[in-house]
Amino acid sequence: MMRKQAACIGGGVIGGGWIARFILNGWDVNVFDPQADARDKIEQVLENARRSLPALADVAMPEEGVIRYCDTLKQAVENALWIQESVPERLAVKHAVFKELQKYCKSDAIIGSSTSGFTPSQLQQNSANPSQIFVAHPFNPVYLLPLVEVVASADNCADLQQQALRILTELGMSPLLVRGEIAAHIADRLLEALWREALWLINDDLATTSEIDDAIRFGFGLRWAQMGLFETYRIAGGEAGMAHFMAQFGPALQWPWSKLTNVPALTDELIEKIASQSDQQSGAYSIRELERIRDDNLVGFMRVQKAHNWGVGKLLKAHDQQLQAVPAKPAAIILHAQPLIMYQGRVLPAWIDYNGHMNEAHYLTVLSAATDKFMLTVGVDEDYISGGGSYFTLETHIRHLAEAKLNQPLQITTQLISCDAKRMHLFHRLTDSSSGKLLATGEHLLLHMDLTSGKSCLASERVQAKLQSIFEYHALLDKPEGAGNAIGVK
């Protein structure tokens, strides 16, 4: 499959984040950034992205795209479907970049600007082709946070707008189409309001940077990561609903607590106060360390919501399905006399333990996922289970044969050793899929259950038939080495 082509103009923290999101989702990226250290900075962002973004997926990511560093804007943009501009936040600079690149780019390429403050109409001033220039404002780290604000003007092409939303969704992002052109769009207006109040609290010595951060992350920050502002307050209002809450909160609005009508002077003294408080709070960590702590936590928060099928987790699941819909390899379930591929993935950061390798319990996490996939393959899916039948594992025998390290690519193949109307006996082989090295085996005996009575019962005829058809082929295979063994110190 031909990979799609993007161009990224400007490779700072934001530009680098875009580059990472594109290539890890299988796009090729042309980069134009005349800064001498651009390549080093981009490689650093990529290193962070490679260790975190794939940990959000439960399916194989596409093959990584290729980065090409270009000497001219022309080289960078001429074949690109998407051109992302992340140059400094000065309108004249952005205008100059657009003027030059529009000489060479396709007329139906989408030009997204990472601007946090300017409106599309401002960006489009004096453009030869304003219809292709949009605001596509992302949030740091761009490779992990899904929010991207898309803003269009009356001069934008409606078809290109639809295509822009579709491409951003393909990249695993959650595009928010802003309803109007306003300075700073939506999120940065909210941020600015709170930021200003925080500066007053520090200016007046009512709180330090560290105290304000704790006031956020030990309190409402934990709520906002999952529900935002209004859904959180809806809960506070109780069954009486949002109007009831508004009536309660209303009076305070007329008698504002916060210093809304004033702007603190950003004196050298205030800047120095904030900088030194921040050093005291976070100075023990380098920015690199803070980035990785942040990314590990972000992956964790997003995976929690994935497990609960909530908020950003729904988005991740949809992205998995989309990745799976375009399989990198031909579908595996073709029956012949060889074990079935029932799992592909990588060792996730959260699976590493104090010994520096994948914790023993997570060997069973992946073996169990392979068992689930095998159950799906023989027809034990959501519908079957809600109909009252499922298989429970009775016994598990794991042989840990080699260590698995962070990001190591894993594959599990499954052989059906035996089956009858109630039972199935599986043998999984967990290997490093790049080297083929055997890491572990898992032998599992499962029993078919009636979920209502809690007693064993026969599997449906359809499931039995599917098992039999697999067993016809797998009976031709040798009994796997290690199957049927007991544990003991010899």
Stretch that binds a copy of itself, among 122-130, 188-196, 316-324, 334-342 (CB under 8 A): 188-196
Place of tokens 């001219």: 72
Interface with a copy of itself includes 407 (CB under 8 A)? no
Identify whether the C-beta of residue 147 lies closer than 8 Å to the C-beta of residue 174. Answer: yes
Q: What span, in angstroms and rounded, lies between the C-alpha atoms of 35 and 427?
A: 55
Question: Residue 27 CB, nearest distance to a copy of itself (Å)?
Answer: 21
Give the Å distances, CA to CA, from 272 to 79, 192, 205, 290. 47, 20, 13, 21
CB of 285 to a copy of itself, least distance (A): 9
Count of positions on this chain that bind a copy of itself (CB under 8 A): 155
Nearer to a copy of itself, 167 or 199 (CB): 199
Q: Which is nearer to a copy of itself, 108 or 279 (CB)?
A: 279
Q: If binding is defined by CB under 8 A, does position 35 make contact with a copy of itself?
A: no
User: Minimum Å distance from CB 172 to a copy of itself?
Assistant: 11
Q: Which stretch binds a copy of itself (CB under 8 A): 63-71, 291-299, 329-337, 464-472?
A: 291-299
> DSSP letter at 89?
S
Classify residue 252 as exposed, middle or buried by CB count within 10 Å of its CB (0-12, 13-18, 19+): exposed
Return the beta strands (E) in 299-388 as ranges. Answer: 340-346
Contact flag: residue 228 with a copy of itself (CB under 8 A): yes
Per CB under 8 A, 178 contacts a copy of itself: yes
Judged by CB under 8 A, does residue 395 bind a copy of itself? yes
* Residue 424 bridge partners (DSSP): 419, 446
Contact characters 54-83, a copy of itself, x per CB under 8 A: ------------------------------
Interacting positions 460-489 with a copy of itself (CB under 8 A) = 484-489
The answer to whether 34 touches 59, Cβ cutoff 8 Å, is no
DSSP strand pairing (438-450 vs 389-400): antiparallel
Nearest to a copy of itself of 6, 212 (CB atom): 212
261: tokens are 């009508």
Helix, strand, coil percent values for the chain (each to nearest 5)? 45, 20, 35
**Segment contacting a copy of itself (CB under 8 A): 17-25, 96-104, 306-314, 316-324?**
306-314
- Restricted to residues 338-367, the positions that interact with a copy of itself (CB under 8 A) are 350, 354-356, 359-365, 367
Stretch of 1-9, 105-113, 208-216, 470-478 lying at the interface with a copy of itself (CB under 8 A): 208-216
Q: Examine residue 92 and tell whether it contacts a copy of itself (CB under 8 A).
A: no
Q: Does 96 bind a copy of itself (CB under 8 A)?
A: no
Which of 92, 154, 253, 331 is in the footprint of a copy of itself by CB under 8 A? 253
Told to check if 238 binds a copy of itself by CB under 8 A, we report yes
- Output the smallest distance, CB 56 to a copy of itself, in A: 12
Judged by CB under 8 A, does residue 405 bind a copy of itself? no
Q: Using an 8 Å Cβ cutoff, are 456 and 445 in contact?
A: no
Q: Which one-letter amino acid corresponds to residue 341? A: I
Question: Is residue 246 a contact point for a copy of itself (CB under 8 A)?
Answer: yes
* Minimum CB distance to a copy of itself, residue 487 (Å): 5
Q: How far is the CB of 79 from a copy of itself (least distance, A)?
A: 31
**Single-letter code of the amino acid located at 333:** I
Query: Using the rule CB under 8 A, is 194 a contact of a copy of itself?
Result: yes
How far apart, in whole angstroms, are the C-alpha atoms of residue 108 and residue 98? 14
Among 21, 429, 444, 448, binds a copy of itself (CB under 8 A): 444
Residues 411-440 that bind a copy of itself (CB under 8 A): 418, 420, 423, 425
Which residues pair with residue 82 across a beta bridge?
A: 6, 110
Q: Cα Rg for the chain, rounded, in angstroms? A: 27
Which of 93, 247, 421, 465 is the binder for a copy of itself (CB under 8 A)?
A: 247
Rounded CA gap, 176 and 161, in Å?
A: 12
Query: CA-CA distances (angstroms) from residue 371 to 250, 388, 413, 455?
Result: 55, 19, 10, 21
CA 80 to chain centre: 24
Are 112 and 81 contacting, i.e. CB atoms less than 8 angstroms apart?
no
CA contacts within 13 A on the Cβ side of 266: 4
